[in-house]
Homo-oligomer: A and B are copies of this chain.
């Protein structure tokens, strides 16, 4: 479940960034983060801190709580999909 949330957080950030028509570099600039670090976050390769969550959410124009809620919803959806695929396979 943790891995799901880390990945889902990255996907949520990428979707919100693309929704604004921003490059990773632009988001990094707005959030005061390194561009390559933003790439790693979006690919679910790093576990962000509370401060980074706040920097990203602030740059993307929503609260940290709202960003987390969206990530959790996606995580739950992806977990359910995984369960369904297993059910089909069995």
Contact = CB atoms under 8 A, between A and B. Distances in A.
A51 B6 CA distance: 8
A48 B71 CA distance: 17
Interface string A10-34: 0000000000000000000000000
Interface residues of A, number: 22
Contact of A47 (B2, B6, B51): B51
B72 A63 contact: yes
A47 B64 CA distance: 14
Nearest to A4: B54
Contacts of A69: 63, 65-66, 69
Interface of A: 1-2, 5-6, 9, 47-51, 53-54, 63-72
